[in-house]
Amino acid sequence: MPKRSNMGPPWWHGRFQGRGYRITVPREAILDVLNRTSKHLSAEDIYLEVHKIYPHIGLTTIYRTLELLVHIGLVFKFDFGDGRARFELSEGPKGIRHHHHLVCTNCGRVIDYTDFIDDEIELLGRTEKGLSKKFNFKITNHLIQFYGLCDGCRDKK
């Protein structure tokens, strides 16, 4: 089902060329699954989805591909505390969409939010600068997650 609305190679092809990485069917299938969801899928989730169309693709390949995609920066890997890694495309055709997460500790639901991001970015910039100076630490990344009870869970407790 990997059908794109307009012709031309998908926007991510450039990330593979020139680095010795090959564009393969499994890789396209995995990127396609990630590209078409807004959920935070586990390796097995992705495997099951890919399996519907390419039953011969194995779970091992899913893991290996995800590792590669994280390595080249196309995918983010998260740990929301349920014992399995979760993956999310780091950018879309329209560029990076920076956001943080709200994690429900009761049902595991994960909510993306971009509100307040500007204030956060502002603070993060200051903090990163200060920490870099104080600890001589070169910051490349940050992780911000809020935990609590989601809309559906807060009453039932």
Partner DNA sequence: AATATTAATGAAAACCATTTTCAATAAACT
Partner DNA sequence: AGTTTATTGAAAATGGTTTTCATTAATATT
If one asks whether residue 57 binds DNA (CB under 7 A), the answer comes out as yes
96 binds a copy of itself, rule: CB under 8 A: no
Q: Does 79 bind Mn ion (CB under 5 A)?
A: no
Taking only Cα atoms into account, the Rg of the chain, rounded to an integer number of angstroms, comes to 18
**Which residues, numbered 79-108, are part of the site for DNA (CB under 7 A)?**
83-85
Whether residue 64 contacts residue 11, with contact meaning beta carbons closer than 8 Å, is answered with no
Footprint of Mn ion on residues 82-101 (CB under 5 A)? Answer: 88
Q: Please tell me the distance from the alpha carbon of residue 100 to that of residue 106, in angstroms, as a whole number.
A: 19
- With beta carbons less than 8 A apart as the criterion, state whether 57 and 29 touch: yes
Q: Quick one: which of 69, 18, 23 has its CA closest to 46?
A: 69
Using the 8-state DSSP alphabet, how is residue 71 labeled? H
**Would you count residue 15 as binding DNA (CB under 7 A)?**
no
The piece of 4-12, 50-58, 104-112, 133-141 that touches Mn ion (CB under 5 A) is: 104-112
Q: Point out which residues bind a copy of itself (CB under 8 A).
A: 79, 81, 102, 104-105, 111, 113, 115-116, 119-120, 123, 126-128, 130-131, 134-151, 154
